[in-house]
Amino acid sequence: MRSQVLSWSRVTKWLLVMLLDVVMAVTAMWLAFSLRLDTLHWPSHTQWVAYALAPVLAVPVFIKFGLYRAIFRYTGLAALVATAQAVAVYGVLLFALLLWQQWPGIPRTIGLLQPVIFLVLVGTSRALARFWLSDPGRMARHVEGRLLIYGAGNAGVQTATAIGITGQYKLVGFIDDDASKMRRSINGVPVFGLIDVPQVVARDQVTDILLALPRASRERRNSIIESLRGLPVHIRTLPAWADLASGRVTVRDFRELDVEDLLGRTPIPPDGQLLARDITGKVVLVTGAGGSIGSELCRQILLQGPRQLLLVDHSEYGLYAIHQELEALCSAGASGAELPVELVPLLGSVVSYDRMSALCKLYQPAIVYHAAAYKHVPMVEGNAGEGIANNVFGTLNMARAALENSVARFVLISTDKAVRPTNVMGASKRMAELVLQALADERAPVFFDAGLDSGPVSGSAHANKTCFTMVRFGNVLGSSGSVVPLFRRQLADGGPLTVTHAEVTRYFMTIPEAAQLVLQAGAMAVGGDVFVLDMGEPVKIMDLARRMVELSGLTVREEGADTGDIEIKVTGLRPGEKLYEELLIGDNPESTAHPRIMKAHEPFLPWSELAPELRAFRLAAQASDVEAIKATLKHHVQGYTPS
């Protein structure tokens, strides 16, 4: 019968509810007369006027307050308040009419008694309808777990209401560290202190803890997550509670902990003047615009209001995706106002000097952010020639195009893998740094061949009017190929989690923080600078894997043991992979105006010495001569030791 009722048309439901309200209005009038006269009442003469007046007044007022548009299954506090307001308005109208007309046989107190009884009947009917239509018995049979909500504030209480509607979880209680809330209850649900949680989890067989702390600082969230880490529960965080309450999403959509919750640190607010200095009102070009770092750079740049943003990428889909996203951001704007930025998607590869030169000549960018690169270590190790062509000579092509078209600033996105590398990818990025250092330092004119294929050693001269700089940092959380998304997929598949070595460690930073720091570092450059971002403490990947398993409410299956849910498997280092990453070649970093940006002083070759070497290096890359490539890298890249 429930399914049949739910399948009725909206008009049918509307008429049925209206009919029930008419019946309840008349019933409330009968009860009011019976109570007032202290006997079971049967109306006579003018008393029929009161019985007719009740539904005639009530129905229009209820329509005005939108009570017939409500969905009973999702009736909550707001709907009950609206019902009370509607009945109050109805009661005022009824009492005023009875007081004004003074019909004989109708006591004035009926105008006070009947609305109160009517409110009880209407409120009860709505509550019973919600209870029946939501089918609590069916939900209880399919409950997916037992839940604690961390946070007994507004977000937590509203989420508890939404959970009651969906019925997929049994709410055991709230957790809060506010002493005034502990040992009390909210809507009949107890509030526990953090010290009580282990006992509650064990006693009530809690399976999940949901963080409902939208305004908590990063330090507090990390501290809470760490305190819950040893419990056999799945820890997740809150989606928008309004989406839950409306039924647009379910508890299945509770989000896994953000990567920032796992590894993040409190970001330092960016310096607005540094961010905007080279961007606002100017033409900005980003290569690799569809990649993880490039796309975030584009988002951050867009908010600084450039006149024109040039998006360059060789991937058609990647370029399409970021262009669509940025167009939506332009329409919405940071504060609701449309952003007057011209977005120009440009297909092209940095390996093509002609294409890059033509773009710089046509659009005359003021600054170039060069994020285009092959970055996956094993992939580049197995395709060394292509890696060198893209990472080294693609950088040279963009640098040459910038010089020839008087681009004011050129910022290379580099990597910690460029420091004493054991792989071609890292060594190629260090070679790209050497190219820019040489171009930035050259006091005499820089010579390029008219045809780049024969090597950049002679030809027309270009005075160096471009400020070249490099920004070096480690892994970014959530980027393509990074470890956190990989571990999540492996957890969803039931394991095992694969770690290349038990002792492997990495630096991590969030993509937005990295992009903001890149923009700020680029603005501080004077030419030839190698900026190094403060990545915080290195993270042991084995510890990260264990933490993700534990925060999913599972246990690690130790080697040789029969117990445990998820195995962590050591697969061995991949070709070119290091155990530890470094950020500095030397040991003399210099502080800057920003606490998380340092300046390194790295050795390099002058252009006059490096240029002839690049010709042979390019030929080796074109021929995919791996031995010659590695020999050149070993000669020029300090600390390069091929694995």
The pLDDT score that the predictor gives to residue 453 is 44
552-581: burial string, b at 16+ Cβ within 10 Å, e else: bbbebbeeeeeeeebbbeeeeeeebbbeeb
Strands (DSSP E) along 272-427, which ranges? 283-287, 308-313, 342-347, 367-370, 409-415
From the list 639, 611, 617, 637, the residue with the least C-alpha distance to 385 is 617
CATH fold match for the domains 142-257 and 272-636: yes
Structure tokens at 591: 């502080």
**H-type alpha helices, 176-285:** 197-204, 218-228, 241-246, 259-263, 272-277
Q: Determine contact, residues 400/456, Cβ cutoff 8 Å.
A: yes
pLDDT value, residue 553: 73
Q: Does domain 272-636 have CATH number 3.40.50.720?
A: yes
Task: Match 């011209």 to its residue by tokens.
Answer: 342
Q: 5-13 long-range CB contacts below 8 Å, 24 or more apart?
A: 5/133, 6/133
**What gap in Å lies between CA 294 and CA 209, rounded to an integer?**
36
Task: Map tokens 């009973």 to a residue.
Answer: 72
pLDDT value at residue 95: 84
Please, what are the averages of pLDDT over each run of 10 residues along the chain (643 residues)?
61 78 88 84 82 86 73 56 83 85 82 86 77 54 76 80 73 87 83 90 90 77 82 77 48 62 65 82 95 91 93 96 92 66 95 96 96 92 95 95 93 90 93 93 60 43 78 72 79 87 80 85 85 79 84 78 83 77 64 81 86 92 94 91 80
Q: In what order do the strands lie in the sheet with 283-287?
A: 342-347, 308-313, 283-287, 367-370, 409-415, 467-473, 529-533, 597-600, 590-591
End-to-end CA distance of the chain, in Å? 71
Structure tokens at 477: 């959380």
Listed in sequence order, the residues at least 6 apart from 537 whose beta carbon sits closer than 8 Å to its beta carbon are none
Tokens describing residue 438: 């040489």
Q: Determine the Cα–Cα distance for residues 643 and 234; give it in Å rounded to an integer.
A: 40
pLDDT at 139: 46
Query: What are the two backbone dihedrals, phi and then psi, of residue 471, each rounded to the nearest 5 degrees?
Result: -125, 120
Residue 540 has a CB neighbour count (10 Å cut-off) of 15
Q: CA-CA distance, 84 to 77, in Å (whole number)? A: 11
Supply the pLDDT for residue 310: 97
CA gap 506, 625 in Å, rounded: 31
Long-range contacts of 129-134 (CB under 8 A, 24+ apart): 129/72, 129/75, 130/72, 130/73, 130/74, 130/75, 132/2, 133/2, 133/5, 133/6, 133/72, 133/73, 134/73, 134/165, 134/167
Q: Give the domain ranges of the chain.
A: 2-134, 142-257, 272-636
DSSP assignment letter at 393: I
With both helix axes pointing from N to C terminus, report the angle between 424-441 and 626-636 in degrees, rounded to the nearest 10: 50
User: Distance between CA 463 and CA 481 in Å, rounded?
Assistant: 40
CATH 3.40.50.720 for domain 142-257: yes
Tell me, what's the pLDDT at 337?
59
pLDDT of residue 454: 40
The phi, psi pair for 115, rounded to 5°, reads -60, -35
Q: Are 105 and 46 in contact (CB under 8 A)?
A: yes
User: Cβ atoms within 10 A of the Cβ of 105, count?
Assistant: 13
Q: Say how far apart CA 127 and CA 134 lie, in whole Å.
A: 11
User: For position 140, what pLDDT does the model report?
Assistant: 46
Cα dist from 331 to 289, 343, 485, whole Å: 19, 12, 30
Residue 31 phi/psi, 5° resolution?
-65, -40
pLDDT of residue 455: 40
Query: Is cis: bond before 107, omega within 30 of 0?
Result: no
Tokens of residue 184, six digits:
């009390």
Tell me the CB-side half-sphere exposure of residue 190, using CA atoms within 13 A. 9
Q: Which amino acid is at 382?
A: G
